[in-house]
A and B are shown apart, each in its own frame.
Chain A
């Protein structure tokens, strides 16, 4: 089910400002890839170009190619809505729909976007909530509002919502930065399980987290404020954290940055 992402020569703009420049990388299916780098270096922007969410921001514009298996996401005639069904996303702050119950939140993607059979809906919701390790905590309150859960539960609810539509790739934009260590651990365990089924890309500021959850790590940096962010290197996580090939990576990882 999972698909390979192959990016080449990708630049993204906000209006006339170039936020990231000439990025190329390959992300293998069923792996976890972590993006690390200082604030403002374009990690999140790059992540959002992978499911065409970048262009939702006003003035957002992308150049270059993103191949999902053998289809260019920015090719002619590609429907961004269809892209987002294949490439799901989890955001930094948990954002369950406030008007919907736990059940409706998980079912939202199917109900609003996809085709589904009514009889299958509750099975899918249960499966997704189990997949997000949330089922046991919410099975008795499926009809309560999703915003009544704790922060960590809300974030797992958002993950359940994202995987309910069976995407091929799951993008996570600092999914743990608003959570306590225990919820973070729960989500990291979950990432380990989800990579059996999805290709996962995660942006994180927490280098231990990158080291713990990812197979490959990409380091982004920018020359100066106002300059576009660039991919410095991407390599196996072990190598990045033990023996990176670029000095800047080592400086950043060992805290000698800036």
Chain B
């Protein structure tokens, strides 16, 4: 035996403590899942949700216990906070993934070119076949017209509130915009319906657009307002100090600087109204045939189509398939709009140029 290394009498570092290896959270997660499966099988629990909850609980408790032993209580608290955030995130993902999965799985059954290019004109609700062409046309026209009305009014209102509004008038507008944000869609529909009844009108697409515009406007105002407030005051002053009139400053400096965010806000508002069913049901009524004219006669729209396929078909599978396919189309429509909005936002965003 060689001489043992001389024992250096050194105080333990106060800056360095024991740490769990980097992979330990994954090990804990894996371990608790395995343990939860074992517990579930042994106890004979059928529900996978119970398994998941047990796994989550084991993960949090285990992490805290082991970390507190090895690393101390402060690190254990840090880890449990991180763990909670992750568990919450996963729980939030469950419905999202489940929704997308179900819609894709069921929606792709009948979704094809034929489905997208034909109406329900020659089939009844409980027969297979038919399509959503008339609903797509209706949705595009109603939502498009609503956007054409609501977006400019909303943006201009926001410009007034941020750039010009002072005192009571602007406070009143802000208040009423807030109230409008809370209007249930069916109430907006009833409002337009009451006007239609006064003039004794039949349902038509544009009436739906009006109700949708009422729902969309406050959302556009709010988001645009926030975007305009983000534009630094220095830019406005720089422009004014050059002798640029205020309206041109707003048009050429303030709006271009915030156009990306404003577009995103409008697109999100469009996505919101594209899924509205209640006012469309009241005002546009629904139609089995293709009607390209939003100003005369009942039209169809995607959300209304989904509802009617489910409600009127008396349990026919063909109708359910069509409803799911239409749902998938609607989700895809909203998703594409979002992507377009992001594209525009990135393209128009102020560039750093480095």
Q: Name A's B-contacting residues (CB within 8 A).
A: 51, 53, 56, 58, 81-86, 88-89, 91, 93, 95-99, 108-109, 111-114, 144-148, 158, 161-162, 165
Contact = CB atoms under 8 A, between A and B. Distances in A.
Interface residues of B, number: 27
Contacts of B197: none
A22 to B, nearest CB: 26
A83 B242 CA distance: 10
19 contacts: A51-B241, A56-B237, A84-B241, A84-B243, A85-B242, A95-B238, A97-B239, A108-B252, A109-B242, A112-B248, A112-B249, A112-B252, A113-B242, A114-B243, A145-B353, A147-B350, A148-B354, A161-B238, A165-B242
B244 A112 contact: yes
Contact of B243 (A56, A82, A144, A146): A82
A113 B257 contact: no
A113 B237 contact: no
B249 A97 contact: no
Rank and list the top 7 A-B pairs by shortest CB-CB distance, nearest first: A148-B353, A85-B243, A98-B350, A145-B353, A89-B241, A109-B242, A84-B243
Nearest to A109: B242
Residue among B234, B235, B242 facing the most chain A CB atoms (10 A cut-off)? B242
A161 B237 contact: no
Contacts of A158: 238
B13 interface: no
B245 interface: yes
Contacts of A89: 237, 241
A98 B245 contact: no
B245 A81 contact: yes
A53 B237 contact: yes
Which has the most chain B C-beta neighbours within 10 Å: A88, A89, A97, A99?
Answer: A99
A174 B89 CA distance: 49
Contacts of A95: 232, 234-235, 237-238
